[in-house]
A and B are shown apart, each in its own frame.
Chain A
Amino acid sequence: MSNIVLAQAADTAGAINPGLAAIGYGLGAIGPGVGVGLIWAAVINGTARQPEAQSQLMGIAWISFVLVEVLALIGLVVYFIASAA
């Protein structure tokens, strides 16, 4: 009996519930969202303290934004793999 149960578990081990994958992706998108907010909060602070440094701060902020955003895209790809399997 336990062998049958184990065999069934092994069969379904590769497949992830698509709803579970979507929830995981939603959780994974929170981190980059917080990161983007922190980046721009720092830019606003920095520009208020030193307005002439705005373009330098913006450049750093945008490249940080791109790097942070990749995390969400990786999560999206993982969600796609899990839900399409």
Chain B
Amino acid sequence: MSRAHDPSPPAAEPIASTSAPQAEPEGEHAAAMRRLADTMLRTALWPGIATVGIATVVAGLVVGLSGVLGALVGGAVATASSMATIGLIKWSRGMHPMAMMAVALGGYTGKILVLMIVMTLLTWVDALHPMSLALTMLATVLVWTAAEAQGFRKTKIPTIVPVAGS
């Protein structure tokens, strides 16, 4: 029987063509990377925000309004930069290591390029106190990184795989 004369729609046809595509089940390695990224973000977010807040208060007391603005912008740039790396981990979690190398190097290059353009443009903004911006950015990046390293320790990923029976 030809399908052209069959009035009933085929039962096995996918009906989800207009809805969201179903997500493929995540592999073991991808799940581990997602867990790592989530833990790093959870561990680093609040210390980072606290650092920006403290730096903003200190800059406000020492420099004034331009210091507050500089500290806020510096903290925002540092937070965005750190979160971009975590986003990169989550985005590339299912990739092959060779593709991930390209992603990591491309992400590094792109981030450094964008940050250099942003920082160069910020040197022309007179409303921002440069030293407040720079020191807040430095402090935020260092605190984020330390907290991310702490988050990595929390995931308990073994760095040495013990051999059974040894």
Chain A residues close to B by CB (< 8 Å): 18, 25, 29, 32-33, 36-37, 39-41, 43-44, 47, 53-63, 65-67, 69-70, 72-74, 76-77, 79-81, 83-85
Contact across chains for A43 and B89 when beta carbons are under 8 A apart: no
Tell me the count of chain B residues lying within 8 A, CB to CB, of chain A: 43
Q: A56-B158, A58-B97 are in contact. Are A72 and B149 (CB under 8 A)?
A: no
Rounded to whole angstroms, the CA-CA distance of A41 and B104 in the bound complex is 11
Contact across chains for B138 and A74 when beta carbons are under 8 A apart: yes
Interface majority SS on A: helix, strand, loop or mixed?
A: helix
Chain B residues close to A by CB (< 8 Å): 28-29, 32-33, 36, 40, 78, 81, 85, 89, 97-98, 100-101, 104-105, 108-109, 111-112, 115-116, 119-120, 122-123, 130-131, 133-134, 137-138, 141-142, 145, 148-149, 152, 155, 157-159, 161
The total of Cβ contacts below 8 Å across the A-B interface reads 114
Contact across chains for B104 and A83 when beta carbons are under 8 A apart: no
CB distance from A52 to the nearest CB of B (A): 9
Q: A55-B29, A66-B145 are in contact. Are A44 and B101 (CB under 8 A)?
A: yes
Q: Which residues of A contact B148 (CB under 8 A)?
A: 63, 66
Rounded to whole angstroms, the CA-CA distance of A19 and B8 in the bound complex is 73
